Structure 1
């Protein structure tokens, strides 16, 4: 094979899920919408700081934004297993469009206040608590299990591609047209997702058994019991809880680093978000080409993420901070993609919405705790200012490290049991469907059933 043929082969392998029409419609619609969302997030973070000049207010905005995921994502997972996922996603996207349009109109008419921002952030988070588990569980219905690892990686790629494009566009739009334009663009961008979902061919979706009608709490307990009884899932959830709570608070920490440590403005803020997004996109493409990730990659990427995050907290130079955030983005997405892919392959179809609801709870729903902690630490540690922000990043990196080390220790337990000749006990048996606790590696090799 000549070198000139390697490039096309690599690209074809990395983007193979886009051959599926329904997923292609979904992917490009999400790309447009997420670009608009990142434009709004950059503008919104700067707007809150401009209105209040308070790290606590910014942290509180993110807390309110993600609090519904903490409170309701488990119930959102139950709904994801019960309701038609495509229709549910259309309803949530229409609702998000209305919330985004309300923010745009209120800002352009000079009626927006911090209190209104808090209310709209909460409404957005409430919709996300339903949309998140549903969107995650919908991916296997579009591509099937064969291309699922690739599709999960491409989802990470598009999210972080939008993270590059969105802040870059936002910086230009804010400086030329003002913040209101970012908010209006975000509102319009939701139409792309709605159109893509509406244009899907229902006959080409992969059938997944829907959870039988039952009491919501009973179905919720079923998902929790499965997760608790499956060691592979427990390891993933420990990592995601640590990274989600203490590591992925960049919408709070990056604006603080920009304003108080680097003493810069919106253009530097966009650069830092874009740098992190560039590393994230590269990681997504690597993951898409590699296929199914190992548990070693999951834990190794999480460890690198913690170290790089701490180094970013020590940097006082714009170029060095941008370079470190590029590496943070790379390690973070490798970790997230590995966790999501292994979880999707592990979980039976009729439980997928509920288990992904737990995933959303731990990775996104715990963000309110981390965002509030970041705001409080940055305001009060070391007298606030640059010292407080640096200390905040270092403290949260240390707390994240505790979780990663705990996951590594726990991951050794199943290996020890296997060496002793012990088989994992069945985690749960339901009338609708029987399943046993097996690892994602066993599923790939065909040695287990689910």
Structure 2
């Protein structure tokens, strides 16, 4: 079975979700409570970033400092997202979230007190922003993975869209206080509620091996890599708006905090509207068509930021940017949540968070420097051009069509036939599978085994190759290496999906006899 590459919907579940309201997941009480609590926490963190940016618009080198707020907020995601994803996959997500929210309360209280006391220089403000960004980096993978456990599978894309609704802005000190209060509320909901802890598998993973497994899965999944590529191409130029909009309001339009709030409100209104429109848009456009339309709409809004001199008109023209931002990011997040197997879901989503943070932080810093050296107009025009070009690349690098793929867990390998029980920590281990294939079936067999090889690499093998016997051309041997015996046992237990089973069956069907498996252990 070859991996589909045609443009189209990202998943059958996404298309199914398009037929019902995006608000449907809120009918699930556990999800509704957690969503409102998390929305409040995310609102608080985002509002804090907005307040921090506005506090710096009158500072010397404001172009760089305002952009650095985005960098400080997103940098923790680059550093902590993968460890956070590993923790979320191997421990109780509820306890992890409660601990993080408790720390966020402490940071928010300190930030509020120092701001009210007028003891908040730019450097300290960036440090506090970094700490709050760290809380968000540790929170997101666990929260995103919980969504799959709280709502029906067909509603996951809608739940992801709901997670993108973030709007509001008030005075800076009040923003910081609301952030702390929102974290308190989130922690209380987590403490009071009963939420599923998820399946941690028959063999608990160690932290370092869990991180390696997450990286290995993404590296060997062309579907996930293509999703992440689309995110990078959208967020890198798109970061210009989030980083430099305060300067557009204050310098180009001569507006104060209220004017900046109006522009941000327009973006937020676009996100709300986008969430409501997502089911209809998804039913009329393919995933790739939606990516193209969103990129071009956002590029037009970027140009409007420096070509329109009316605050009210610009606010109207920023609404499509909010719709586009929600459509791209939440569309990809929802598709990932549906596509990723349960055992690696938080780690896969953490890789999305890393890519998003790289685009947001790197783009903010780059566009801040461009604006400082060349001016706001060249910065926004350049960002718009790159956004449009990036959107057009969907014609060359489309999202992969996984319609019909079975993502449910499949336990179909027989228990290993060993003379005595082996320690899961022993390693390295080699597993060989010997096939006998008639010459007429060799081309199809080699094609099928490439998909099997990717499956082995995604689910535990550190390397996997197929060899042909020089003395017997009908004999093929697949050799897979594992760091430990436990890594291979996890494939038997809970890491394979229905699609992996179908690909194994397709390869086995081309062999002249049942394959022969051998498990080789180190002699020491």
Does the 8 Å contact 2:20/2:279 carry over to 1? no
Instruction: Give the superposition deviation at 1:298.
Output: 4.2
Equivalent in 296, 316, 333 of residue 304 of structure 1: 296
Greater displacement, 183-192 / 131-140:
183-192
Of residues 96, 99, 108, the one that matches 1:88 is 96
Residue 181 of structure 2 corresponds to which residue in structure 1? 188
Q: Deviations over 1:148-180 (max 9, x none)?
A: 122112222xx23xx1xx12xx1xxx3xxxx32
Does the CA-based 8 Å contact 1:42-1:270 persist in structure 2?
A: no
Alpha-carbon distance in structure 2 between the residues aligned to 1:270 and 1:241: 27
Total equivalences in the alignment: 405
Q: Is the 8 A contact 1:86 1:138 kept in 2?
A: no
Paired residue for 1:140?
148
User: C-alpha deviations, 1:342-381, integer Å up to 9, x for none?
Assistant: 1111110001111111100011243221111121111111
- Partner of 1:252 in structure 2? 243
Equivalent positions of 1:286-297 (< 5 A) are 286-287=277-278, 294-297=286-289
Q: Per-residue deviation at 1:437?
A: 9.8
Answer yes or no: is the 8 Å Cα contact 1:99–1:123 preserved in 2: yes
**CA distance in structure 2 between the aligned counterparts of 1:16 and 1:425, rounded to whole angstroms:** 36
Question: Which residue, 418, 428, 439 being the options, matches 2:455?
Answer: 428
Higher relative contact order, structure no. (Cα contacts within 8 Å, ≥ 6 residues apart): 1
Partner residue, 1:337: 330
Render the CA deviation track for 1:244-289: whole Å, top value 9, x for unaligned: 2321344322102111221211111000000111111011122257
Which whole-Å deviations, capped at 9, do the CAs of 1:86-137 have from their partners, x for residues lacking one? 1111111111121111111001112111111121112122222221222211
Distance 2:99 2:496 in 1: 32
Q: From the superposition, tell whether residues 222 and 255 of structure 1 become closer, same or farther in structure 2 (CA, over 3 Å).
A: same
Secondary structure of 1:354's aligned partner:
helix
Task: Provide the residue aligned with 1:282 in structure 2.
Answer: 273
CA distance in 2 between partners of 1:100 and 1:412 (Å): 39
Q: 2:367 aligns with which of 355, 374, 382?
A: 374
Render the CA deviation track for 1:405-445: whole Å, top value 9, x for unaligned. 44441228889xxxx99767142333313436969xx9xxx
Contact 1:142 1:206 in 2 (8 A): no
Deviation at 1:20, TM superposition (A): 1.3
1:12 positional shift? 8.2
Check conservation: 2:93, 2:142, Cα contact below 8 A.
yes
Q: Closer, same or farther in 2 for the Cα pair 1:223/1:302, shift >3 Å?
A: farther
Give the gaps of 5 or more residues in structure 2.
1-17, 403-442, 461-487, 503-524
2:429 match: none
Indicate conservation of the 8 Å contact 2:25/2:159, yes or no: yes
- Supply the distance in 1 between the matched residues of 2:197 and 2:140 (Cα, whole angstroms): 20
CA distance in 1, matches of 2:282, 2:496: 25
Q: Superposition pairs for residues 345-424 of structure 1, below 5 Å?
A: 345-381=338-374, 388-411=375-398
- Please give the alpha-carbon distance, in whole angstroms, between the structure 2 residues aligned to 1:111 and 1:354: 39
Q: Please give the per-residue CA displacement for 1:302-324, whole angstroms capped at 9, x wherever unaligned.
A: 43344324432433322232122
Normalising by structure 2, we get a TM-score of: 0.70
1:100 matched to which residue of 2? Answer: 108
If each structure's strand is expressed as a fraction of its own residues, which one has the higher value? 2
**Distance in structure 2 (CA, Å) of the matches to 1:78 and 1:401:** 35
Greater gyration radius: 2
Structure 1: runs of 5+ lacking an equivalent: 1-9, 382-387, 443-450
SS of equivalent residue, structure 2 residue 153: coil
Distance in 2 (CA, whole Å) between partners of 1:210 and 1:365 is 31
Offset, 1:217:
4.3
- The reply on whether 1:42 has 2:68 as its aligned counterpart is no
- Is the contact made by 1:306 and 1:398 (CA closer than 8 Å) also made in structure 2? no
**Following superposition of structure 1 onto structure 2, how do residues 17-166 of structure 1 map, counting pairs within 5 Å?**
17-52=25-60, 54-156=62-164, 159-160=165-166, 163=167, 166=168
Shift of 1:333: 1.0
Match of 1:267 among 249, 254, 258: 258
RMSD: 3.1
Structure 2 counterparts to residues 197-212 of structure 1, below 5 A: 197-202=190-195, 205=196, 207-210=198-201, 212=203
Supply the distance in 1 between the matched residues of 2:358 and 2:303 (Cα, whole angstroms): 26
Distance 1:408 1:306, change over 3 A: farther
How far residue 214 of structure 1 moved from its aligned partner, in angstroms, is 4.0
CA distances 1:19-53 after superposition (whole Å, capped 9, x unpaired):
21111111222333334334433322111223446
Q: In the alignment, is the contact (CA less than 8 A) between 2:73 and 2:129 conserved in 1?
A: yes
Closer, same or farther: CA 307–115 of 1 in aligned 2, 3 Å? closer
> Does structure 2 conserve the Cα–Cα contact (< 8 Å) formed by 1:301 and 1:335?
no
- Going from structure 1 to structure 2, the CA distance change for 1:305 and 1:229 (only over 3 Å counts) comes to farther
Change (3 A) 1:108 1:412: closer
